[in-house]
Structure 1
């Protein structure tokens, strides 16, 4: 019988996870299929229990469900420390994992960007921000988390400080913060389809030695990345983070190494 996998979120229609996972299943001749399901936070528990009861192989979680899932599934030590879950496996109950941080790390390393010793400014304090902040602080970066709600950034930074250097602040001084940063990471939904004109910064805020990484991947080239190119900064698109975190989830669910190039081709074609 065909095994079903999926991504839960709200909104979720923009997700390219079905494209890349289904391409990998076809390439490996696996009798599996992956769908997107719109699930609100208040319905997450029922959705996860239903998926498990119906024999799903596993699911990914996206906005706004990553932190809510901690109340429902058994998180591994990394996901528990991060405080967010993006992958749930049903082989033995409901186990939660977080592959976002590793996906971001592999994306920047692929672009020859050094994380250790870098000043990293992360804008946003949601689930993806948590994962990246924990991963990069653990890898030796100096982290600043800036968020519209300052206290949320301060609270997150205090947690991240358990594994490395981190502080939180509001967005009032973002221009000054960018000027002092080596890496700028957008972990908000600004610039995501269909509101593609949104951006956390413009070219005049940036400098040529800056790496600008936007985890938004739809559109592939966000306004933020266009502004980065105008400033002569290195622009890093978000699709590889999606692909690498998805590849880790694929391995958790199936124990099989997925074909990264096939997954990448499917995502790019979908975009």
Structure 2
């Protein structure tokens, strides 16, 4: 019997915990599915995608492939359309693209008792920053302060914010900040900012939700004076939505006995 195959692609990819999460989920569901990891860069994405045969059910995508996957998808869910980023591909008659990062951020923040937000700061201007912007919008944010090394690269975030009805401002990291209750850091794992930049951001940044989880604590979390939350919760909850997609093609429909599946995935993550 041919096994159903899935994988996570990205570059770098050796640090990914996705195989542990997905393997635990499929064991809990009684599915003999194979989930692996593969190093694929943006240049090699198209050829790698074309090389897959009918045994493949789907892919998880991480940096730097989310925009490439968005372009490759024939149809996309609302979050993918809004953000221009796809982190999940489902192979069917047409190639379906989803963004489960948005829901993963919302679920992870809810788990840490952050359920409503107003003024939020987002650090970074990449694909994950767009997901964070949509996520905080769905949690009730009205104002967003975007900080980036090159603020001009945040133009797409400002356009997205306008589309969502948010008051957004883009500035360099060293512009004097106003206080916020939540900071969402979307910088790549291992990124470091100068102490003179971090200190005022941290002093006015409220709770830090850092999507990075390897290494942890991140350079930001190490110096953050208040609560700092890693991206493992986001990784867990976006993966649950991916499992829903791979299992029955809809991120909004819970799995059978999802509480047990989530528990198995959490245990795999914590081990």
If the length of structure 2 is used for normalisation, what is the TM-score? 0.87
Q: Distance in 2 between matches of 1:205 and 1:97?
A: 32
Change (3 A) 1:213 1:79: same
Deviations for 1:121-180, whole angstroms, at most 9, x for unmatched residues?
Answer: 111111111111122124321222211121111332122220131424232435x32x42
Q: Provide the C-alpha distance between the structure 2 equivalents of 1:190 and 1:170, rounded to a whole number of angstroms.
A: 21
Q: Which residue pairs with 1:11 in the alignment?
A: 12
Asked if 1:225 corresponds to 2:225, the answer is no
Q: Tell me whether 1:107 sits opposite 2:100 in the alignment.
A: no
State the Cα deviation string for residues 35-57 of structure 1 (Å, max 9, x = none): 11111112212222323x24211
Residue 57 of structure 1 aligns to a residue whose secondary structure is strand
- Which of residues 241, 246, 254 is equivalent to 2:234? 241
CA contact (8 A) 2:180 2:204 kept: no
More displaced 10-residue stretch of structure 1: 253-262 or 98-107: 253-262
Compute the displacement of 1:223 (Å): 2.7
Query: How far apart in 2 are the matches of 1:209 and 1:146?
Result: 12
Partner of 1:264: 266
Q: In the TM superposition, what is the alpha-carbon distance from 1:203 to its structure 2 partner?
A: 5.2
C-alpha change, 1:166 and 1:155, in structure 2 (3 Å) is: farther
Q: CA offset at residue 205 of structure 1?
A: 4.1
C-alpha contact (below 8 Å) 1:155/1:168 kept by paired residues: no
Cα separation, 2, equivalents of 1:250 and 1:106: 15
Query: In the TM superposition, what whole-angstrom CA distance separates every residue of 1:69-90 from its partner, at most 9, and x where no partner exists?
Result: 2221122232112110000001
Gapped regions of structure 2 (runs ≥ 5): 249-254
Q: Indicate the RMSD between aligned Cα atoms, in angstroms.
A: 2.0
Q: Unpaired runs of 5+ in structure 1?
A: 193-197
Aligned residues: 257
Compared with structure 1, are the counterparts of its residues 244 and 172 closer, same or farther at alpha carbon in structure 2 (3 Å cutoff)?
closer
Deviates more, 1:235-244 or 1:106-115: 106-115
Query: For the residues of structure 1 that align with 2:216 and 2:269, how far apart are their CA atoms?
Result: 10
Query: TM-score normalised to the size of structure 1?
Result: 0.87
2:12–2:39 CA contact under 8 A, matched in 1 = yes
Q: Where do residues 1-271 of structure 1 align in structure 2 (5 Å cutoff)? A: 1-51=2-52, 53-74=53-74, 75-116=76-117, 118-141=118-141, 142-174=143-175, 176-177=176-177, 179-191=178-190, 198-199=192-193, 202=198, 205-207=201-203, 210-228=206-224, 231=225, 233-255=226-248, 256-257=255-256, 258=258, 259-269=261-271
